[in-house]
Structure 1
Amino acid sequence: MTPRFVVLHYTAMATADAAIERLCDPASDVSAHYVICKSGRVTQLVPEGLRAWHAGAGEWRGLTDINSRSIGIELDNDGQTPFAEPLMHSLEHLLTGILSAWNIPPENVIGHSDMAPGRKFDPGPRFDWARLEAQGLAGRRGHDIGPSDPTPQGFAQVAKQAGYTADVDPDTLLAAVRLRYRPFETGPLDPQDYTPLGHAARWA
């Protein structure tokens, strides 16, 4: 396997050790390449060049079977609280090495929720994507406001260009994009929902 993507998850378990135990249990039918605990300890469970069962059904940039194309990193977090500073520091160090070793562009660091909209919600609303973007460890968001009369069809096209190609309804797509870029935003589609996707030149 030659990894093309990195997929970030949260463990949603009481402890990192409990998550590792589950990820190492053949009966669980789930695995990941790395687990990072709140203290910053990094545990590798699967070699980077081998397939792990962390992504499941989904699609990104028109590609399915993301398990065969990605490195999965589980983060010790419940999905509702801020991510610990030592954990984030270790994640940044780990991502720097992975992206360099496998020539993976920052744009290919995604969340589980990006490739499986509506089915998965990790790494969740508290994950600091902007922090990774600032260090070149995730794709940078755009800054131009979208069209004044946004439509679900137009938004779906822009989101597709950004990588969100899974076949989901407009509300699910909007929720997935917001979870990544505007996690606490509610209400109908807004011009600012286009902003982070970075396709201002294609909005007309």
Structure 2
Amino acid sequence: MPLNILEAPSPNFDQRRGPPDMLLLHYTGMQTAEAAVTRLRDPEAKVSAHYVVDENGSILRLVPEERRAWHAGRSWWKGETDVNAVSIGIEIVNPGHEWGYRAFPDVQIDAVIALIDDIRTRWAIEDARILGHSDVAPTRKQDPGELFPWKRLAEHRQGLWFEPAAERIAALGPP
């Protein structure tokens, strides 16, 4: 079933040097979805993403996947220092830690999972390269944050999940 993706073009992009092989998940970190989309489409802001997924599950496309959106900032992953050049950025509406971070609604995560699945039909993106902004910019970013349901994505074969060591040890019980 095709996704219903609405177009909301942003001028904030340039050319890629090759095909994307990474997905980068963010939260918007703004008070409202409207404020986030306005900023991502503002030429003076010089920031964008390929997609925005609202809390109600609606999806906007701001930048074509074939173009380099400006979402990762100063970041790196496994030797790559231009993460924007190799990634597709998905902004997930959530006010974030500054404006009242909260759990992500199920309908929103369902849409994120469907969007990732759809994107992966076009690009060779491995589970290990579905990452959070905090993974590629750990000294300056914390999104999508500790409430993001990575385990749920992995259960839908979209990314990886590892039980934290303390939980694994506790599950063993006393000697």
TM-score class, shorter: 0.7 to 0.9
Aligned residues: 146
- Partner secondary structure for residue 125 of structure 1: coil
TM-score (norm: length of structure 2): 0.79
Contact 1:42–1:90 (CA<8 Å) still a contact in 2? yes
Residue number in structure 2 paired with 1:132: 153
- Partner secondary structure for residue 74 of structure 1: strand
- Cα deviations across residues 83-107 of structure 1 (Å, max 9, x unaligned)? 0111101101000011221021111
Identity of aligned residues (%): 43
Residue 97 (structure 1) aligned with residue 118 (structure 2)? yes
CA RMSD of superposed structures (Å): 1.4
TM-aligned CA deviation for residue 40 of structure 1: 0.5
Residue number in structure 2 paired with 1:67: 84
Whole-Å separation in 2 of the counterparts to 1:9 and 1:136: 19
User: Which one-letter code corresponds to 1:33 in the other structure?
Assistant: H
- 1:14-25 mapped onto 2 (5 Å cutoff): 14-25=31-42
Whole-Å separation in 2 of the counterparts to 1:13 and 1:78: 5
Residue 117 (structure 1) aligned with residue 138 (structure 2)? yes
- Partner secondary structure for residue 51 of structure 1: strand
Residue 42 (structure 1) aligned with residue 64 (structure 2)? no
- 1:144-183 mapped onto 2 (5 Å cutoff): none
More helix by share: 1
Contact 2:75–2:137 (CA<8 Å) still a contact in 1? yes
User: Which one-letter code corresponds to 2:59 in the other structure?
Assistant: V
Whole-Å separation in 2 of the counterparts to 1:133 and 1:48: 23
- Unpaired runs of 5+ residues, structure 2, are 1-15, 169-175
Residue number in structure 1 paired with 2:103: 82
Contact 1:59–1:65 (CA<8 Å) still a contact in 2? yes
Tell which has more relative contact order, 1 or 2 (C-alpha 8 A, sep 6+): 2
Instruction: Determine which of 13, 34, 37 is the counterpart of 2:30.
Output: 13
Residue number in structure 2 paired with 1:150: none
Residue number in structure 1 paired with 2:171: none
- Unpaired runs of 5+ residues, structure 1, are 144-181, 183-191, 196-204
TM-aligned CA deviation for residue 62 of structure 1: 1.5
Residue number in structure 2 paired with 1:51: 68
Whole-Å separation in 2 of the counterparts to 1:92 and 1:67: 21
